[in-house]
Amino acid sequence: MSSDVSASGSDSTMRAVVFDRYGGPEVLRVAEVPIARTGPGEVLIRVEASSVNGGETAGRRGDLKLITGRRFPKRIGIDFVGTVVQTDADAAYAPVGTRVWGTVDERGEQGSLAEYIAVDPSRFSIAPAGLTPVEAATLLAGGTTALTAMRDIARLRAGERLLVRGASGGVGSVAVQVGAHLGAEVTGLAHPDAFEFVRAQKANHVLDYVTPPSQLGEFDVIFDTRGTSLSAYRRLLTPRGRMVTIAFNLRRPVRSLAGLQLSRLRRVRPVRLFLGRPRRPVFEELAHLAERRVIAPVVHSVHTMEDVVSAHAQMEHERVLGKVAVDVAHN
């Protein structure tokens, strides 16, 4: 391990974002914690950039505490772009010094808002050339989720009509780009202030998100990032239509999840809940698309790790176009 493994000034500690109770953005703080240590087959990565995802803000608030529990302190952050600093596995693929991108296991104790993380090689690939770490970080959640959900689960085909709910958000904006890449006729729902942004992501049509579903027309595939009013939007599907949601109703979680489970049994116009846990092949494919400029970064703002409270507050209280990124490498 190189002598500069810990930027905190110690070979035994590192800086990481933690929280000691559920609550608003103010519960987040940067703390000195034991430096990440690799387990069998894992790779140590110095994190350069990450982003703020909706699931993280929900988890921090306590909306998912039936799943996340009450053991504190907790770490935060899912996606990362960084550099390999130590490896005992897969050295031929990603030797020390290689820039990689991927995700940590959100069910684990690590968070990517930290100076170092220990990651299984299956959870990352080589990062796309030509993008900064911050730019690359804004593509990870939306790109991997949209590719898997729309192409592999919904089996979106060229020429089909695709509706994206939340088309100006961090996942939705990249989903619009992926849908266009797959050859769909893309309609995005967004606030009028975001119409120009959504069109720039290659949407064919953009409509106000408050438009009643009954006035939207029919769609072959619906990609939902909201998790609410799913039955109303399901009615818009053609007889062979498919709907994938990446969220559920946090105000009525039990009822919402039960409804989604029942929908899985439908053979006609099913609604699938997709909670992505991407692996290397999808990261590699996404990197290839980014290098070819098929999809473009969606950077709304950039914060340092020390400014994580402001990053979460912006995500929750402002109209964000794309992703709120965190530059972990710079204080």
pLDDT by residue (tens digit) across 247-289? 766 666 656 566 666 666 666 788 888 887 899 999 999 999 9
> What pLDDT is stored for residue 282 in this prediction?
96
Alpha carbons 85 and 100: distance in angstroms, whole number: 11
Alpha carbons 165 and 246: distance in angstroms, whole number: 11
> What pLDDT is stored for residue 3 in this prediction?
34
Nearest to residue 232, comparing CAs of 179, 271, 192, 186? 271
Beta strands 271-273 and 299-304: pairing type?
A: unpaired
Burial 66-87 (b: 16+ CB within 10 A, else e): eebeeeebbbbbbbbbbbbbbb
> What pLDDT is stored for residue 9 in this prediction?
46
Higher pLDDT pick, 91 / 62: 62
The type of residue at 305 is: M
125 - beta bridge partners? 101
pLDDT by residue (tens digit) across 96-124? 999 999 999 877 789 999 999 999 999 99
2, pLDDT greater than 60:
no
Question: At the topology level of CATH, where does 139-273 sit?
Answer: Rossmann fold (3.40.50)
pLDDT by residue (tens digit) across 167-203? 999 999 999 999 999 999 999 999 999 999 999 999 9
Q: DSSP letter string over 37-82? A: ---TT-EEEEEEEEE--HHHHHHHHTTTHHHH-S-SSEE---EEEE
Beta strands 116-119 and 43-51: pairing type?
A: antiparallel
> What pLDDT is stored for residue 1 in this prediction?
39
Beta strands 219-224 and 237-245: pairing type?
A: parallel
Q: What's the chain's average pLDDT?
A: 91
Considering the domain 13-127+298-327 in this protein, what is its CATH number? Answer: 3.90.180.10
Beta strands 79-87 and 13-19: pairing type?
A: unpaired
Identify the burial level of 109 via C-beta atoms within 10 angstroms of its C-beta, where 0-12 means exposed, 13-18 middle and 19 or more buried: exposed
The type of residue at 30 is: V
pTM given for the model: 0.91
7, pLDDT greater than 50:
no
Where helices occur in 63-107 by DSSP H, the ranges are 65-68
What residue segments make up the domains of the chain, in order of their start? Answer: 13-127+298-327, 139-273
